[in-house]
Amino acid sequence: MQQEWINWSGSIRFTPKSIETPENEEMLVDLVRQAVAFKRNLRVVGSSHSCSQVFKTDDILVSLEKFADIESYDATAGTATVNAGMKLHDISQALLKVGLAMENIGDVDYQAIAPAIGTGTHGAGKHLTNLSGQVIGLRMVTGTGEIVECSLEQNPELLRAARVSMGTLGIFTAVKLRLLPAYKLHRQEWCTHIDDCLANLDWLMEENRNFAFYWYPRRDEARIRIWNLPGQGSTDLSFARLDKEWSGWSGEVLPTPQELRYDESEYSLPVEVAPECFKKVRQRVKEKHRQMVGWRILYRPIARDDAYLSNAYERDIVAITLHQNAALPHWEYFTDIESIFQAYDGRPHWGKKHTLKAKDLRSLYPMWNRFQEIRQRLDPNGIFLTRYLRELLVGE
């Protein structure tokens, strides 16, 4: 019997012809080769936290839930190779046991690592890259059923293309991460008026290891979140009220438990224009969307990287994220604000809702054509391309 697949927010629903859960690389290779032989399509899925259609398929859905261990680690070198289906939360816990930690993770940590990397998912911190920037090597099964490895030393161009590729070059089976010795962070949450937050934005982003703020559209107030190594960073924000603070291991204090379901749209903008863009978004929300929108807008800086389809490719960025309750309409809100993001050269988050297609995206990514050449070489039959991904990457 066919089984419906529903994403975390509930806004993406589909019924694949089959759901496969291979237990090892050999089984995955067989699946890919059969898909090629029978002209089938095959999409890989993680924890389904994404609310874009990136994993939606009416053919074969491949879950990597059984690829969920630390494959190896080197505490001295500060590296670990992690199976692609392992959840970020589980990775944090497993690494802590051997004295290691990821450089940064996002606001939620229940995603599987490979899709989080492959969609350009990130945390917050002006000098910290997205998750894909922490990848120094990976192993994948390509669209012809070959097992291919690449790293900073071995075929580095393929690594740059593959890191943020949404599973369209191959299905990741393992990723090698650059890590830090396990570390603790002190987390503070400050409340203030949005005007005061914006007036102090530059030094807050510079002075604190991790920084983000939420704007609450029905109060015009901001919640500033900062995380720092003990004894470092800002400790007294004279313009704000300290609401709460606590300390703990990085994997425990970086994410925020979240039960409330929501849909998201997010664009990344050059850091230089992000405050101006945010002010336009704020103005538009107050003028047009407050009736329906009660939830926060999130502002997070991220350091540049060199992954071809990363929204931080060769530019320091700020990601501005719209949230809407999953039970309420979101498209009118998201598409209206999208026009502001686009006016500031924004790049959409691959795992969140947006309306851009290949013709719109091509000019936003300097290495777009090179990426497509590599994609066609590794998946010549297009078995990883669904209708959505063809519109997104090919333009058919």
Q: How far apart are CA 29 and CA 317, in angstroms?
A: 37
> Which one-letter DSSP state was computed for residue 393?
I
Pick between residue 51 and residue 61 the one whose CB is nearest to other proteins.
51
Length of the chain: 396
Q: Which amino acid belongs to residue 154?
A: Q
Q: In whole angstroms, how close is the CB of 282 to other proteins at the nearest point?
A: 11
Shortest Å distance, C-beta 33 to other proteins: 46
CB nearer other proteins, residue 128 or residue 222: 222
Q: Which is nearer to other proteins, 3 or 256 (CB)?
A: 256
Which is nearest to 43 in space by CA: 29, 27, 28, 57?
A: 57
Q: Are 298 and 349 in contact (CB under 8 A)?
A: no
Contacts of 13 (CB under 8 A, 6+ apart): 4, 5, 6, 7
- Per the listing, tokens 């005007």 go with 195
Shortest gap between Cβ of 141 and other proteins (angstroms)? 41
Quote the least distance from Cβ 159 to other proteins, whole Å: 41
Residues in contact with 157: Cβ distance below 8 Å, sequence separation at least 6, in sequence order: 374
Nearest CB to other proteins, comparing residues 138 and 222? 222
CB 95 within 8 A of CB 89: no
Minimal distance in Å, beta carbon 108 to other proteins? 16
DSSP labels for 238-257? TTSEEEEEEEEEHHHHSS--
Cβ atoms 348, 53 nearer than 8 A: no
Give the shortest CB-295-to-other proteins separation in angstroms: 5
Task: Judge contact between 141 and 171, C-beta under 8 A.
Answer: yes
CA–CA gap between residue 90 and residue 255 (Å, rounded): 13
Q: Cβ closer to other proteins: 9 or 83?
A: 9
Are 282 and 106 a contacting pair, CB within 8 Å?
no
Provide, rounded to whole angstroms, the least separation between the CB of residue 52 and other proteins: 22
As measured in angstroms, the least distance from the Cβ of 296 to other proteins is 8
Residues that bind other proteins (CB under 8 A): 216, 218-221, 260, 290-295, 325, 327-328
Q: What sign has the CA pseudo-torsion 150, 154, 155, 160?
A: positive
118 vs 217, beta carbon nearer other proteins: 217
Q: Which is nearer to other proteins, 184 or 290 (CB)?
A: 290
Cα–Cα distance for residue pair 229/192, rounded to 1 Å: 23
Whose Cβ is closer to other proteins: residue 11's or residue 104's? 11
